[in-house]
Chain A
Amino acid sequence: MSTTTTGKPIKLDSTGARQAARPSSLWMDSMHYLFRNRLAVIGMAIILLLIIIALFAPTIATYDPLQPMIGVPGHTGRLQAKAPCIHLLGCPAEEVEHYLGLDLNARDVFSRIVYGSRVSLLVGFLAVTFSIVVGTMLGMISGYVGHWVDNLIMRFMDVLMAFPSLLLAIVIVTVLGPGLQNALLAISIVSIPVYARLARAQVLAVKEYEYITANRALGAGPIRILFVHIFPNSLTPLIVQGTLGIGGAVLEAAALSFIGLGAQPPDPEWGAMLSEARSYVFTAPHMVFFPGFAIMITVLGFNLLGDGMRDALDPRLNRI
C-alpha cells in the first residue's frame, strides 16, 4: 500500500509499518507537509524574495536612497513628490525613470523601499532572535526549577504582559531615546513574555515524561537534562511563534518609526516613509501606497509561513 501519494487516510499499525515503507522523521514529515501547503510556500517565496532584495539592495536600487534628485542630470523643475515614471507604461521617454516616483525630499521611492527591506528584515530577525533566546532561557529555568524562582520570573513576565505591547515599546524608547537600535531593543523586550510562557509550558509538560525520569535515574545533571533532553523537545511551538513574531516585530518597528521613535531621518524605513507622506495621501498616493504595501507583504509572508509551520509541526493534526 502506498503511503505517500493516494492522500487517503492511512492508520499506522502497532508495528510501525509506515516507517518501514518510507524512512522518515518528525522534521522530514513536517517539511513535507509544509511544502504541500500552498499558502506556506507563497509565504516562503515572499520571504526569500525579500531576503534577496535586502542582500542585493545596492544592485537592485536604481539610485542612492539618500540622494535628492535635485540637480541630478535629467531632472528639472519641481521634483517634490513626483509621480512614478515608467517608460513601458507610457511615461514620456525624455523623463527620467523612477519606478515608484519621488518622495517629499525628491528621493527615489523605489530605492528607498529596496533599502528599507534591509532595515525591516534586520529588525524582525534580530528582535525575535533576542527575545526567543532570553524568553526561552527564562521560561525554561522557571519551568524546571519551579517554586519561588518560577513565581518571581513569571510574575515579572505577567507585569510585562499587562501593558499593551506597543505602549510598552513606546515607553521604553522614550526612556532610552528615539532610534532604530533602541526601537529594536524595545520590541525585543516586549515580546519576551510570550516566549517565556511558551517555553515554561513546554518544559512543565516534557519534564514529567518518563525518559526524563530515566535520565535523572541515570545520574544526569539538571543542566544536561534541561538543555540536552528537554530543550529539543520543546522547540516546536517556539519556532512557530518565532516565525509569526517576525511579522509582528516588522509591524511594530514600522509603527514606532511612524510616530518618530524608530528609524531617524534620513534612513529609509517603511514606517517612517509612510509617516512623512501621510499628509499627501490623496494628492501623492504613491508615497503612501508603496511603503504601506511593502510592510503588508512582508508581514503577510511571515504570517503565511508561520501558519503553515504550525499546521506542519502540530502532531495532533491528523493529516496522513
Chain B
Amino acid sequence: MVKRFGLGMLLILVFVALSVPVLAQDAPANMTVSDSGLITYAAESCDYGGEILSIEAVDETTVKFTLCYADPAFPSKVAFAAFGIRSSDQLEVTGGGGDLLSTPIGTGPYMLDHWDLGNEIVLARNDSYWGDAAIESTLIFRWNSESAQRLTELQAGNVSAIDNPGALDIPVVQGDPNLQFLPREGTNVFYVGMNNTIAPFDNVKVRQAVAYGVDKQRIVDQFYPPGSSVADQFMPTSIFGYTPEVEPFPYDPEMARQLLEEAAAEGGFSLPIETTISYRDVVRGYLPSPGVVAADLQQQLAAIGINLTIEVQESGTFLDNASAGRLPIFLLGWGADYPDATNFLDFHFGVGANDSFGTKHPEITEPLQAGARLADFAERYPYYIEANTAIRDLVPMLPVAHGGSGIAYKAGVAGAHTSPLGNENFSVMDDPTSDTFVWMQNAEPISMYCSDETDGESLRACEQVIESLLAYEVGGTAVVPSLAETYEASEDLTEWTFHLRPGVTFHDGSALDSNDVVMTFAVQWDAANPLHVGRSGAFDYFSGFFAAFLNAPES
C-alpha cells in the first residue's frame, strides 16, 4: 500500500516543502492583488513625502496614477527612458537585478541580439513591433572616448554616424562631401558647482566673486563648438522656467577681487585662496572639452585671487563625490530629460536634491515647491523668477554655457536627425550602403536597466529597446503616445489614467498588460519591495522626479 503511492507522496511532500517559504513570504505591504489578478500599489498616505499616492491596474489595459499634488509635468516624466516598461515576469525572474541589467526585454522597435561587453551591442529588428518597423534589420552600438578615433571610423565608413565630433573636427566633417553634420540644440547647461559647506565657498561673497570673475563669453567663443551660447541662468532659454527678467552678474574682475578681499577680511583668511577644482574627463554635449575649460578657468580665477589645483577624477567616483557634497568646486552639467523647469531646478536645488551644493536655501526651495505644484504656466512663472533670482544671488553654482553639440552622419543616411534630449531614434534611419546601422557614441552603456542609470550613453541604448507609456516626438520634445494610446487627467491634475495600446507584445512574446506598468513603477517606488534592486539601487531619476521613495530607509 505504502509502496504504491510512495513516489507520488514524495513529490507532494517536496512540493509542499518548497512552497512553504514562497507562500509564507508576504506580498509587499503596499501591494494588493484583486481576484482577477490586477495589482494595486498604494501608499497609506502622502505623509511619506513623495508625489505618488497610488498606482492601480484598473483593468487589463488601463492604469491609473493618483498623485499627492498636481503635477503638470507628469506626462513628460513618464515618457522618460528611466520609466521604460519592463515585463513584470522578467522583473520577478531576475529578482530586480542581475540579468535585468544586461538582457533588456521591452517592446521597442529593436531587441537585444547580444551584448559583447566592452566591444559592441547588437540589436535586431523587432518584426512584431506595434508601430512602423525599423528600417534597418540590425542596429549596432559601438563606442570610443577619443573624438579623433570616432571621426576616423566614420571617414573609413565603418560606422554610419558618430556622436559629438570634436569641436575642431566639425569643419572637417562639414567640408567632407561624404559626411553631414547635424547640430544638436543645447538644451543643457554646463556649470561650476560650489559647495556652501566647504570653506571658503561657505561665504557667499566668495561664490559671488567666482560669478563676477569668470568671463563666460570667452569660454564659449574659444572652446565651444558653433551653436553654443553663454548661460545666463541654469535654465536653457528654450525650456519653460527660463526667466529673461533675471539679469546675470556681469563679468567684472574688479568687483570679484573686491568681494574676495571683503570675504577674506570677514573670514580671516589670506588671499590668494588655494583650493582644488575637480572634473571628470568625459565629453558631454554641455562640456565638449573638459580639460581645456578647466585650464582656462584656472587661469581666469588666478587673476582674481583663487589658485586652483586641477584634479581629474574617474567618472563614477566624481559623480559620487559631487552628489555626496565632498567637492569644494567642480565642473558638471545637466542635459534636459524632459522640457520643464522641474527637470533642471527641482532636480538640483529642490528639497529632494543631492548634496552637491551643500545646504539648501529656503529662498530657492520654497518658490520651486510652489511652482512645481501649479498647472498653469502663467501662474507658475513668477515663482521661477523668484527662484532664478535667488539662485543668481546665492550662487550655489555658476552657469557658464549651453553647449551645442551634434552628430556626424554619412551623407546618404535617410531620416538622420538629432534630438535636443539626446535620444536619437535609430529605427527611422536608413544607411543606404548597408542593412546595418552602426552608431558610435562616447562610452559604453553602464547597464540597460535604465531605471537605475542616469548616464545619457546608457539611456540612449535603452530607448531603442524599451518603451515608456508616452514618448517624445522624434527629434523633438513634445510628448506623444507610445505604449499608452491615450491618457487623461483629472481637473486638478492629480489623477492620470493611461489606456494601453492593445495587442502589444514584449520581445519574449508575452503580452503587455497593466500589471507590467504597475510593477515597473512599483519596484522603483517602494524601497521595501524585494525587487527594488537595480544596479546600484539608487534609482536617482525616480527620487528626482517623484520626490521620495515609499518605505525609504531612515537615513
Contact = CB atoms under 8 A, between A and B. Distances in A.
A281 B169 CA distance: 10
Contact of A66 (B146, B148, B292, B299): B299
B309 interface: yes
A292 interface: no
A105 B295 contact: yes
A92 interface: no
B312 A260 contact: yes
Contacts of A260: 281, 312
Given A278-B146, A281-B148, A264 B299 contact: no
Most buried by B among A79, A105, A106, A284: A105
A104 B289 contact: yes
A76 B312 CA distance: 31
Nearest to B169: A283
A288 to B, nearest CB: 10
B146 A282 contact: no
Contact of B299 (A68, A104, A276, A279): A68
A192 to B, nearest CB: 29
B310 A78 contact: no
A80 B223 contact: yes
Contact of B222 (A66, A79, A266, A280): A79
A265 B151 contact: no
Interface residue range, chain B: 20 to 34
Contacts of A137: none
A59 B125 CA distance: 66
Given A80-B223, A264-B309, A264-B310, A282 B148 contact: yes
A104 to B, nearest CB: 5
Contacts of A104: 223, 289, 291-292
Interface in B115-166: 146-148, 151-152, 166
Nearest to B171: A283
The secondary structure that dominates the B interface is helix
B298 A265 contact: yes
A178 to B, nearest CB: 8
A13 B319 CA distance: 78
B172 interface: yes
B288 to A, nearest CB: 10
Contacts of A106: 222
A264 B146 CA distance: 21
B294 interface: yes
B309 to A, nearest CB: 7
Contacts of A66: 299
Interface in A269-288: 276, 278-284
Contact of A279 (B146, B296, B298): B146
Interface string B257-300: 00000000000000000000000010000000101101110110
Interface string A144-168: 0000000000000000000000000
A276 to B, nearest CB: 6
Interface string A47-84: 00000000000000000001110110000001111000
27 contacts: A68-B222, A68-B296, A68-B299, A71-B218, A78-B221, A80-B167, A80-B222, A80-B292, A104-B223, A104-B291, A105-B223, A260-B281, A264-B310, A265-B291, A265-B294, A276-B291, A278-B146, A278-B148, A279-B147, A279-B148, A280-B148, A280-B169, A281-B148, A282-B148, A282-B151, A283-B148, A283-B166
User: Ordered nearest first, which 4 A-B pairs have the shortest CB separation?
Assistant: A283-B168, A104-B292, A279-B147, A265-B295
Interface of B: 146-148, 151-152, 166-169, 172, 218, 221-223, 281, 289, 291-292, 294-296, 298-299, 309-310, 312
